[in-house]
Chains A and B, each alone.
Chain A
Amino acid sequence: MTEALHWLGYGLVIAGILFFLAGSLGLLRFPDVFTRLHALTKADNLGLGLICLGLAFQASGLAEAVKYLLIWLLMLVASGIGATLIASTALACGLAPRQADTPSNTMTSERPAPK
């Protein structure tokens, strides 16, 4: 039983790392603040949750496992509110979300505008 939990823990941690990689890729590749926040908060929170769950499965006792899950809960609250603040401040400062037909001003400032 403990052996199975151990391997399940490894699997969850690896899945969490994959989500982190996807989130980081999104942060690097997405065009504006809002889409980057979307990638970062969603993928990274899920990834952190999976990692914490995986570590909790491998923990030596219930107290340790609950601490891992508490870390995830605190990060969820902090990053959710932080992301909302960043996005709303960006919107209030005049950064428009990128639309399908109007290219956003954050990305295309260096490139010549398409005719």
Chain B
Amino acid sequence: MRLLAWGFDLLLAAGLLWLAWQALFTPRRFSAVVNFMAFYLLMALVWVRLDAPDIALAEAAIGAGVTGALLLTALGRLPAGTSTGADPRRWQRPLQILAMAGAAMAALWLAWAAYQLPRPGLAAEVTAALDATGVSHGVTAVLLNLRAFDTFLEIVIMLAAVVLVWSLGPPLRAFAPATALPGLPALSHLLHPLFLLVPAYLLWRGTHAPGGAFPAGAVMGAGGVLLLLTDAAPWIYLRRHRLLLHLLLSSGMALFLAVALGGMLMTGTFFAIPLHLAPTLIMAVEVATGLSIALMLMAFYLLGEPGQ
């Protein structure tokens, strides 16, 4: 059984390297995108093998699902006939070899640094501090209490990415399907209750088991993308909803910041949450960031600022 697990892990690692190579160096853009999506699915499997289901959930939903769909949409908008990508010129060869050698050196150095890390990790210390955090799941405790500042910065980075994407041009409506089939609208109608139910379940689960804001936001964002693809959310393009959209997009960050500043007022330390308020506040921050993440993933899909 142990041998089988070793074989599976080796196969996984080899597949990961091969897919990464394909995604970077295959000449056809479409197969590069498909290889990229398959890479993230395998990556999610790797996280499962490393006993990190939280990261696996987020990786599969954001890496393979939402990013893949975004890349495919961008690909569909490129003019036909330009679908050959990487074709290095002769003078680029030495640079390419240099870059590859540098990447290999960095990978070796990172592997060595990871090997040098203290062996059992910080899991025991997190478990010891769990009673002071207000939640009963280690990952949620780290993400939203012990290292909340890091998570806050992640939300800020996502918001900055939305601003960047929106600054590129006008919003683009999804292309109508080539044939008017009832299947796609029916699918989105059928799945919408589930796109609300599953994130609610993941958010609730986040307090005591793998789940939480990022996977919930990713699932809800996927539902939002489906809405945009079926052109069922025309309100998002209206000028009078612009302010509301901006408020909703930044609500997760705003609530997070308010909690951090409130903690500073009450205890004197930035991002210190008083224990008796912690469960409620963490849940509120999770809900707000989950909604914000969902809307941000949807906002990437608009490819430009609506309501201009």
Q: Do A and B bind each other?
A: yes
* A residues lining the B interface (CB < 8 Å): 74, 77-78, 81, 84-85, 88-89, 91-93
Contact with A along B177-208 (1 / 0, CB 8 A): 11101011011001100100000000000000
The 4 closest A-B pairs by CB, nearest first: A92-B178, A81-B183, A88-B179, A89-B178
Q: Kindly list chain A residues whose C-beta atoms are within 8 Å of the C-beta of B177.
A: 85, 88-89
A92 cross-chain contacts in B, Cβ below 8 A: 178-179
- CA distance in complex: A10, B282 (Å): 42
Q: How far is the CB of A68 from chain B (nearest CB, A)?
A: 15
Q: Chain B interface: which size bin?
A: 10 to 19
Scan residues 112-156 of chain B and give those whose CB is less than 8 A from a CB of chain A: none
Chain A residue contacts of B179, Cβ below 8 A? 88-89, 91-92
A77 to B178, CA, bound (A): 21
Cβ contact within 8 Å between B181 and A77? no
Q: Which residues of B sit under 8 angstroms from A91, Cβ to Cβ?
A: 179
Q: Which residues of the other chain, B, contact A89 by a CB distance below 8 angstroms?
A: 177-179
Query: How far is B183's CA from A24's CA once the two chains are assembled, in angstroms?
Result: 25
| A17: min CB distance to chain B, Å | 14
Q: List 7 A-B contacts (CB under 8 A).
A: A74-B194, A78-B191, A81-B186, A84-B183, A85-B184, A88-B181, A89-B179
A77, A81, A89, A91: residue with the most chain B Cβ atoms closer than 10 Å? A81
Contact B181 A85 (CB under 8 A): yes
